Amino acid sequence: MKLRWLGHSAFELISEENLKILIDPFISNNPSCSVPVEDLNADLICITHGHADHFGDAMEIANRTSALVIANHEISIFFSRQGFNTQGMNIGGSSKFHDIKITMVDAKHSSDIDFMEEVTPGGCACGFIFELENGKKIYHAGDTSLFGDLKNIIGDFYKPDILLLPIGDRYTMGLQDASTAVNWISPNKVFPMHYNTFPVIEQDPDDFVDMVHKKSPKTEVIILEPGETYIE
Ligand code: NI
Ligand code: MN
């Protein structure tokens, strides 16, 4: 699989069988993303919640590529009313797309659609677990605080191999909480996200590396540059 970080919480995941999944495609207004939105293609677009820094360019990309938009029930209704190809899900549910299983899991955050003139209710914020063809599980946590399910449900039950985790603080977990989440979930690898996009979420990722190293020496922290691709 190939995992390209597009900055902030935006990732492009390409599976072994070449299924292209865009997660939280915040591209054209994302100061840390230099990839032009027109260059992105997708079979699936997964949106963790309605905030502009996650919903991003989903409509433009879905319109151009006819990608299937996967989001919570409320955001899915928003898309279907405008004629988009969409599938709603809810917390705890799974769905198969070719050989990839996607599970929607809880996140502690809000989810209103906030970028239109009137703020529209957007259901509950979520994270996604992608179980790939080879059984490996990648968990994109969305925007979230530290909460008990990360230990009891994500760590003990789903047991993801790879974790994409916000560390920027202010709107999500910061370094201390995120490194505790890593300890609870105990993945093989963690990729920090949702930091250094804007001044208010500035973090030194090396501090995160140090904290994870102390609390969870078996977990490898991988720091990507925006635009960089991890392959395994
Ligand atoms: Ni948010
Ligand atoms: Mn956010």
Q: What is the pLDDT of residue 223?
A: 98
CA of 50 to the centre of ligand 1 (A): 7
Closest CA to 144 of 126, 123, 121, 162: 126
In tens, the pLDDT along 177-209 reads 999 999 999 999 999 999 999 999 999 999 999
Neighbours of ion ligand 1 (CB under 5 A): 51, 143
Q: Are 38 and 17 in contact (CB under 8 A)?
A: no
| Full domain range(s) for residue 151 | 2-231
CA of 134 to the centre of ligand 2 (A): 30
CA of 124 to the centre of ligand 2 (A): 14
CA of 54 to the centre of ligand 1 (A): 7
In tens, the pLDDT along 140-161 reads 999 999 999 999 999 999 999 9
- Report the distance separating Cα 165 and Cα 172, nearest Å: 10
CA of 54 to the centre of ligand 2 (A): 6
- Report the distance separating Cα 172 and Cα 167, nearest Å: 7
CATH number, domain of 97, equals: 3.60.15.10
Closest CA to 171 of 190, 150, 197, 151: 197
Ligand having the closest approach to the CA of 107: 1
Bridge pairing between strands 100-106 and 94-97: antiparallel
Q: What is the pLDDT of residue 219?
A: 98
Please compute the mean of the pLDDT values over residues 62-68 and round it to a whole number. 98
In tens, the pLDDT along 159-171 reads 999 999 999 999 9
CA of 134 to the centre of ligand 1 (A): 31
Hey, what are 43's tokens?
């079979």
Ligand having the closest approach to the CA of 9: 2
In tens, the pLDDT along 15-44 reads 999 999 999 999 999 999 999 999 999 999
Q: Report whether pLDDT(175) > 90.
A: yes
Number of domains the chain contains: 1
Neighbours of ion ligand 2 (CB under 5 A): 53, 143
